[in-house]
Amino acid sequence: MSTKLKATKKVKSNLPKLHKPLFAIAVAEWNSNITEALLQGALDVFKREGYKNVIVKHVPGTVELTYAAARMIDIEGISAVIVIGCVIRGDTPHFYYVCQSVTAGVAQLNTVGNAPIIFGVLTTENEQQALDRAGGALGNKGAEAAEAAIKMADFTQSIEAHGLSRRFSMRDIEAALEEFNAMENYDDFGDDEFDDDYDEPDDKSHHKKYN
């Protein structure tokens, strides 16, 4: 049974209006008949809302979406990132490994707080379920991801407008972690050990050459 994928329905927008946002979308090539329909759904929403600054990049599969998102949140001025993929259950445990990898990866990147990453990855039992969610009977999850991206970009702008947050690049975070780990090395020394370094020695002979 096949499903004819439909274009995103034209509806009256109740989404927030953003000032010159920049969006990025990473799309998996695997199951491209599904992922391209999801991508089109997202692009339709951005076009409807009047947002033209959208970067689209393709990666081989769903696992690679985490790396793509990690690089995209470092793009200067980025408002939100969407990852789009489709994983269909097969006869091997590969389905679980892929789903766990991309879910955990995106969740971890979102804790960084640099830019929201919207999860637009379908994880379905079969192809029909995926088709139903890529412009079929159950709508287009790519379009829903774009709407979520706009809402989260607005949330970020509202927070930053009040000076309540600061954006960090992944390099900033790595440098901070390295500095923290280096500081932890000082825990190996006790107070007594530092005090001994400054104890006034009884023998003053080593000062004679400076007298």
> Which residues are identified as catalytic?
94
Cβ–Cβ under 8 Å, residues 168 and 42: no
Q: Report how far residue 68's alpha carbon sits from residue 26's, in angstroms, rounded to the nearest whole number.
A: 6
Cβ–Cβ under 8 Å, residues 114 and 153: no
First-to-last alpha carbon distance for the chain, in angstroms, is 98
Q: Among the residues of 65-125, which ranges form H helices?
A: 65-72, 94-112
Burial class (CB in 10 A: 0-12, 13-18, 19+), 143: buried
Give residue for tokens 């990473």: 26
Cβ–Cβ under 8 Å, residues 134 and 41: yes
Under DSSP, the state recorded for 126 is: S
Antiparallel, parallel or unpaired: β 139-140 and 134-136 = antiparallel
